[in-house]
Structure 1
Amino acid sequence: MCGSRFVGLSTAAMYGISIGAGLPALFLLICLAIYARKKVNDHAQIQQQNHVPDIPTTTIAQQLPVSVMGLDKLTIESYPITVLGESKRLPKPSDSTCAICLSEYKPNDTLRTIPECNHYFHSDCIDEWLQLNATCPVCRNLQESATPIPSSTSSNT
């Protein structure tokens, strides 16, 4: 016996063993390299996020986002009211349902109109809506009498 273990194997068998063992080993090395690179990138990204830049000694004023709250009661009450008759006829034929409560208008219902866009709603529904929001629930147009005020929430951006 010569000092080799593969003495009786043909050349094709030796190539087969080399490829059979070599390809999985190469695949494993590639996977380990990708994993190690990802870990290094993740670690670098965490360090970059935790890095606190030097802040100048001057004070930086934080701007609060501006949001619009609802309308005041006098403004809401100044919007026109319509009491529906038996015909339930409104200027816009598609206005047969309140977009807030989704109920169909009935005779003698009291409706309120938003002047800027002429959309109709049950007066109770739209009064409650406009106390919380200064926009029309249908077209989302901001009402002219709404004044923007700074929001009390702050963001950390």
Structure 2
Amino acid sequence: MLCAIGIGCLTHFKHRRRTISDEPAIDITITRMRMGLDESTIESFEKIVLGESRRLPGVGHADGTGCCSICLSEYNGKDIIRCIPECKHCFHAHCIDEWLRMNATCPICRNSPSPSHSHLHISSS
């Protein structure tokens, strides 16, 4: 009796596995498309080394305190900062670089940092 149940279970799962493996595979690369700016556009945005005063050159940072809106870490002296030219918002360079590879807009104001959309690219990963 136990052997019959065991053989029945094996047959069922073997048939089920074959049915699942016969289904067409979904191309994951299509579902993971990212749209952002190309590397040369990102690199064209000015990078600065933050001084000990931690005073950022962009808008809304007059008091010299604050944190990166992407990683939420406070700015420290000697941090490398990148500012988006059109809106003057500033972030840690590594944070905004990664953001702009995946998104074509500023994370704060959502304006496009590129006046023309010719710099947009689509990459998959």
TM-score, reference length from structure 1: 0.48
Distance 2:43 2:97 in 1: 8
Match 2:35 to one of 69, 72, 76: 69
Higher strand fraction (1 or 2): 2
Count of residue pairs the alignment pairs up: 83
Find the counterpart in structure 1 of residue 49 from structure 2.
Answer: 83
Alignment deviations for residues 97-142 of structure 1 (CA, whole Å, 9 cap, x no partner): 1000000100000000000100000000000000000000000002
Deviation at 1:69?
2.1
Distance 1:119 1:112 in 2: 9
Equivalent position to 1:108, from 78, 87, 101: 78
- Over the residues paired in the alignment, what is the CA RMSD in angstroms? 2.3
Share of identical aligned residues, percent?
57
Show the counterpart of 1:42: none
Partner of 1:134: 104
Report the equivalent of 1:146: 117
Structure 1, unaligned runs of 5 or more: 1-67, 152-157
Give the gaps of 5 or more residues in structure 2: 1-33
**Offset, 1:89:** 1.1
Q: Which has the higher contact order (CA 8 A, sep 6+)?
A: 2
Structure 1 window deviating more from structure 2 (84-93 vs 134-143): it is 84-93
Q: Which has the larger radius of gyration?
A: 1
Could you tell me how far 1:96 is from its partner in structure 2? 2.0
